[in-house]
Amino acid sequence: MAISKFNKAKIAGIVSCIPKKIIKIDDELQTVYNNDINKLKRIKKSIGLNKRHVTESHETTADLCEAAAKKLLSGLKVNKKSIDAIMLVTQTPDYFQPATAAYLHGVLNLPESCAAFDVNQGCAGYVYGLWLAYMMIESASCKNVLLLAGDTLSKITNPKDSNVTSLFGDAGTATLITKSNKIEKSFFQLQANGKKFDTIIQPKGAFRQPNQNQIKNSKVFELSEKRNLENLYMDGGEVFNFSILTEPKAILNILKISNLSKKDIDYLILHQANKYIISNITRRLKFSEKKVPSETTGKFGNQSSASIPCTISDAINKEIKNKKKKLILSGFGVGLSWATCQLNLEKIYCPKVILN
Amino acid sequence: MKKKELLIKIKDLLLRKDPINSSMKLSEIEEWDSLAIISVISLYDKNFSTVITVEKINKCETIKDLINLVSDKIKN
pLDDT in tens, A212-262: 999 999 999 999 999 999 999 999 989 999 999 999 999 999 999 999 999
Residue A32 has pLDDT above 60, yes or no: yes
pTM of the full predicted structure? 0.94
Q: What pLDDT digit, counting tens, does each position of A178-218 carry?
A: 999 999 999 999 999 999 999 999 999 999 999 999 999 99
Q: What is the mean pLDDT of chain B?
A: 89
The whole-number pLDDT of residue A1 equals 57
Residue A173 has pLDDT above 80, yes or no: yes
The whole-number pLDDT of residue B17 equals 81
Has A302 been annotated as catalytic?
A: yes
* Pick from A141, A66, A151: nearest CA to A110: A66
The whole-number pLDDT of residue A261 equals 97
Q: What pLDDT digit, counting tens, does each position of A38-83 carry?
A: 889 888 988 889 999 999 999 999 999 999 999 999 999 999 999 9
The whole-number pLDDT of residue A223 equals 92
Residue A315 has pLDDT above 90, yes or no: yes
Choosing from A65, A114, A123, A310, the catalytic residue is: A123
Residue A167 has pLDDT above 90, yes or no: yes
Q: What pLDDT digit, counting tens, does each position of B1-37 carry?
A: 888 889 889 988 888 888 888 899 998 888 888 889 9
Q: Which residue has the higher pLDDT, A348 or A42?
A: A348
Using alpha carbons only, how large is chain A's radius of gyration in Å? 19
The whole-number pLDDT of residue B20 equals 87
Share of chain A above pLDDT 90, in %: 91
Residue of A39, A164, A219, A285 to mutate, interface with B, max B Cβ within 10 Å? A39
Has A123 been annotated as catalytic?
A: yes
The whole-number pLDDT of residue A180 equals 95
Q: Which residues in A lie closer than 8 A to residue B46 (C-beta atoms)?
A: 283
Q: Which residues in B lie closer than 8 A to residue A42 (C-beta atoms)?
A: 14-15, 31, 35-36, 39
